[in-house]
Amino acid sequence: MRTNILSVALQLVKDEGWQSLSIRKIADAIEYSVPVIYDHFENKEAILFELSMDGFRLLERTLEKNKKKYPNPEQLLKAHAEAYWSFAFKNPEYYQLMYGLGMPCSGIGRVKPQLNCFRDYIGQAIEGIVKEKKSSDDETCFKIYAFWSVLHGLISIVMMRCSDIDDSTMNKKVMDDTVEAFIKNL
């Protein structure tokens, strides 16, 4: 039932966007009355939170695959960037929910631990590249955020239709170039 609610909610969002997701529509879709939903979730935010966790888990699984596939840390970091970008645009509903893009923010803040877990994937790759340079932990941490910012910033800008570059491969190229430059500078 819980699972059913979540999957129906996700489907509704894919069809009509976050804006129009409502408890009543979920109830209709699972063919039960409204209060049944509250037997399984405290409130609407709890549903959104659970879905955002699904999003983080899905992303994490992709990054985990990369970790096994690319022993070279530089290739690994590039693959992570690639995977992150492609996750965002293959699952825009998830990405928007995870970072509160264009929607009331659900469980942002509570999501931090999950984020840290993901962040470590990038951190590991960066540390792999930078290890011989013996940079401090602080510096590595900064670099993780710098790298993350480039990815998240550009994805946000494109996803919110703020970019005037219409060709999506061009937007992707901006990311690729920046990632390249970032790695060269590590």
Partner DNA sequence: AAAAAATACCTAACGGTGTTAGCAAAGGTA
Partner DNA sequence: TACCTTTGCTAACACCGTTAGGTATTTTTT
What is the binding site for a copy of itself (CB under 8 A)? 19, 99-105, 108-109, 111-112, 115-116, 141-142, 145-146, 148-154, 156-157, 160-165, 170-171, 173-174, 177-178, 181-182, 184-185
Query: How far out from the chain centre does Cα 149 lie?
Result: 12
Give the residue, chosen from 29, 44, 70, 127, that forms a contact with DNA under the rule CB under 7 A.
Answer: 44
Q: Is 22 in the site for DNA (CB under 7 A)?
A: yes
Q: Is 105 in the site for DNA (CB under 7 A)?
A: no
d(CA 103, CA 30): 24
d(CA 70, CA 76): 5
Closer CB to a copy of itself, 102 or 128, in the complex: 102
132 binds, options a copy of itself, DNA, none, Cβ within 5 to 8 A by partner type: none
Q: Is 8 in the site for DNA (CB under 7 A)?
A: no
State in angstroms the smallest separation of the CB of 170 from a copy of itself.
Answer: 8
Q: How many CB atoms lie within 10 A of CB 52?
A: 24
CB neighbours of 137 closer than 8 A, spacing ≥ 6? none
Q: Provide the CB-side half-sphere exposure for 9 (13 A, CA).
A: 27
